[in-house]
Amino acid sequence: MKSVKVAKASKFSLVISEIAPDKSISHRCAMFAMLAEGTSEITNFLRAEDTLNSLKIVEKLGAKVIDDGITIKISSNGIKESDDILDCGNSGTGIRLFCGLLSSADGHFVLTGDEYLRRRPMKRVTLPLRNIGAKLDGRDNGDLAPLSIRGASLKAFHYNSKIASAQVKSAMILAALRADGECSYSEPELSRDHTERMLKGMGADIEVDKLTTTIRPMKKLLSPLKIRVPADPSSAFFFAVAAAITPDSNVILEGVTLNPTRIEAFRALERMGSVISYDITDNKYEPIGNIHVKYAPLKAITVENNISWLIDELPVLSIAFACAEGISFVKNAEELRVKESDRISTVVNNLKTCGIEVEEFADGYSVKGGELQEAAVKSYGDHRIAMSFMIAGLRSSMKVDDVACVNTSFPNFFELLKKITKIDIED
């Protein structure tokens, strides 16, 4: 799939129940089943390239995986050494969390990914793991994949992270489950907390006190997961912005996780003036429900707090900035530079191509609202950049290149977008 041309949209009203299942939770379901005794049962697992790669990896690590198309059952008798390289594809979550999971496993393991993942920095995970005894190495002194891991005995730790990163936190929590004593992890602000919620639900001895998580090593295998993966709010947010920037439009997004650390982008859109309501329908593992978004004229805001809660949504939130009155600012978002692309530069470059006045900073950027112009932009091989600028096409026709990357996280995105406007796909 080479490129997509998205036509300008007229008003629409939709109820969407087919939002992609949550990517973060799907990754964790596959991995955490390796820590359980018995069979984990997962419904509504995200069948996208990144998460299916994680599923293939757990099979290579010795798990028995049965998928009938509805429920995935994963049974494991412990992590086994693989005779093959473990390919995480495009997933930073996959490779960084597997580093934590495998750092204490018996055997030798090699993790790699596609050309984009092999360019992304890994020291944020490999360095703290090395400091507690992990035998982990890679290119550029462990900063770039492929990464080599030889399971080792890990020391108890009390780690104060300088960044709020769910990936780093999760890797360290997974390592702590097999360390030689009680561990703690502190962060400057609360990052997304699926790992803590899910592992605690499986019986892990984990306590969270504000910004510090305390983890005691497993004395026995955990209880298996029995979970339906909710819809991904990061994916749902593309269509929230679609309604927010298209006059007289509204959308209801069904079955989305309403975890407070996952809906900060919706809160930001509310601050801009969009009319949004939430309806909780389930609250077993996490709060789950429906989100209703209605169009209203948007005004500029500054986004600088709880950045880790909306880091993935900032590219498409920036499309809303471009349609708002005034100048919006993104601050404290250095983490954007180490995603699938340098999302500060890629957002700025593409918005400039669309005729929007943008200024780039080391830790963010500013966007002066205006009229998006018809343009041809680049995805940079980044699924969120590709989808964000396809949403921009709803205001002014847009051509986006190299859109096959969308399949890593949201395979039915194109079908849902067709419910709003005409799109032409070039193979």
Residue 17 burial class via C-beta count within 10 angstroms: exposed 0-12, middle 13-18, buried 19 and up: exposed
- Check the CA dihedral 260-265-266-268 and report its sign: positive
DSSP state of 273: T
| Full 3-state SS string of 150-203 | ECCCECCCEEECCCCCHHHHHHHHHHHCCECCCEEEECCCCCCCHHHHHHHHCC
Whether 312 is a known active-site residue: answer yes
Cα 205 from Cα 219, distance rounded (Å): 9
- Reduced to 3 states (helix: H, G, I; strand: E, B; else coil), residue 387 is helix
- Reduced to 3 states (helix: H, G, I; strand: E, B; else coil), residue 110 is strand
DSSP state of 384: H
Q: DSSP labels for 114-149?
A: -TTGGGS--HHHHHHHHHTT-EEEEHHHHTEEEEEE
Q: Is residue 331 within 8 Å of 363, Cβ to Cβ? A: yes
Cα 116 from Cα 106, distance rounded (Å): 29
Task: State the angle between helix axes of 166-176 and 194-201 in degrees (0 to 180), rounded to the nearest 10.
Answer: 30
Instruction: Report in angstroms the alpha-carbon separations of 122 from 48, 147, 190, 310.
Output: 23, 9, 21, 21
Helix (H) or strand (E) holding 13: strand 13-16
Question: Of residues 137, 312, 402, 424, which has the active-site annotation?
Answer: 312
φ, ψ for residue 187, nearest 5 deg: -135, 160
Residues catalogued as catalytic: 312
